[in-house]
Amino acid sequence: MPERFSRRRFVRTGALAAAAPFAARFMAPAVVTSGSVTSGGVTAGGTLPVVIASSNGNSFRNGGPRTCVAEVYERVARGEDVVSALVAGVAIVEQDPTEYSVGYGGLPNADGVVQLDASCMHGGKRRAGAVACLEGVRTPAAVARAVMENTDHHLLVGRDAQAFARQMGFTIEADLNTEQSRRMWLDWRRRVDPQHWLEPDKRSAAGEAARDAARDAARNAARNAARDAARDAARDAMVREGLIDGAKVYGTLHCSAVTGQGVVGAVTTTSGLAFKIPGRVGDSPILGAGNYADHDVGAAGSTGRGEANLYGLSSFLIVEEMRRGRSPKDACLEALKRIRAATVEKRLLDATGRPAFQIKFYAVNVRGEHAGACMWSMEKNEYAVCTAAGPRLEAMEALIEGAPTPVA
C-alpha cells in the first residue's frame, strides 16, 4: 500500500511539472479594458474565465434564472467544454419568444418564413461548424455544433441542413413564427403591397379601380423595382414608428468565451435581416466573418450589417490584429475603419459620405482583455460581460460620433 501511494504521488508530481511551462502562458490575471483589474477567483489554469456577448446576451432569460453570459460563465467555470457552454448559453436567447432577432420568433423573411443561421468555432480543437437558411429548428447554434462534431464539413444549408438536424434528433417544427413576429411581418407586408394585403378594418378603402391600377403596374419592371425599394422603406418606417427596434433589423447574438485554462470559443446565431429576400445569408454562419476563434490569440464576432462585414472578413481581421499585438479595442476599431473605407456605393452612404448603417464588433484575447466597438454612437451601445464579479453591460467604443445624416 505505501508503495502504491508513493507511485501515485510521483505520477501526480511529474504531471504538474510537465504542465508548468504550458500553464505559465496563462498566469496573467484577467484584465477588463473598460473597468478594473480583477484577481479574485482565479482557477487552477491561472486565468479568470471571461465571457462576452452582444447586449442581448445579458437581457433575456426565457423564464430561467440566468442570462446567456451568466449561463456560459457558470458552465466554463465548472470545467464544461467551451463550445458546449456557449451553445447552451445562446439557446436561452434563441428559445425566448420575446427576442425577435434570433431563433424562435425571429423576424421572418419576405415570405413570412423564419430562416436561421448560426456558426461556432472551437479554438482548442481547431474545429468549426455552421448552418444557414435553416427552417424549423429553434436552436440553430446547437445544429452548427452538431455539424462541427459529427461531420467533416463546416457549413450545411437550407433543406439539407434541416434534414441533417432531423437525422441528429432535433425537433423540426412547421413554423417558428410567434404571434409577435407574424404580426410584425403582416404590418410590413401591408405597407409594401397595400392593394393586395388589406387590413381587415380598412377593406372598404380598397376599391376595384385601385386594385386594377396596381395589377397593371405590377406588370411593369419599373414597378417591380419600386416595390423592392418599398420593402426597405416600409421596414425603415416601422423602425421610425417604434414598431421594430432598430438594433434588431439585422439582429443577431454573438458570444465568445475564454475558459480558466485559456481555451477559446465563439458562437454567433441569428434570424438574419428582417424581411430579407428568401435565401439571403449574411455574415453570421461564415467563418471569419460572423465569428472567429484562435487558441493562441482570442476570439471575435459581430452583429449588424452582415454584407459590410463579409467584404472584409472582419472577425478574422480582428483576431489577426490582436495576434500582431493590438488590444481588442484597437483591433475592433481597425476593422471598422476598413469597412468605412470600403463602403463606396452611394446607396450605402449618408449625406456626408460616411456609412449609413450600424455594425458592431466584440473581441476578447487569451489574457481576458475584451472590448466592443461600433460604427456609430447614435444609440446606447453596450456589450455584455461576465466574470467572477457577475454579468454586466459595458460601454462600446464608437468610431464615429453621432448618427448618419439622412440624404435629402
Which are the catalytic amino acids? Answer: 252
Sequence-ordered strand ranges (E) for 271-315:
291-294, 298-304
Chain centre to alpha carbon of residue 36 = 27
For residue 303, report the phi and psi dihedrals to the nearest 5 degrees. Answer: -140, 160
Helix axis angle, 328-342 to 314-323, nearest 10° = 140
For residue 152, report the phi and psi dihedrals to the nearest 5 degrees. Answer: -90, 5
Residue-wise burial string across 271-280, b where 16 or more C-beta atoms lie within 10 A, e elsewhere: bbbbbbeeeb
- Encoded amino acid at 120, one letter: C
The three cell numbers locating residue 144? 452548427
Percent of residues in the chain assigned helix, strand, coil, to nearest 5: 40, 20, 40
**Residue of 314, 261, 316, 268 whose CA lies nearest to 292:** 316
Helix or strand or coil: residue 182?
A: helix
* Residues facing 130 on adjacent strands: 119, 155
Q: Quick check: 266 and 254 in contact, CB under 8 A?
A: yes
Q: Quick check: 371 and 34 in contact, CB under 8 A?
A: yes
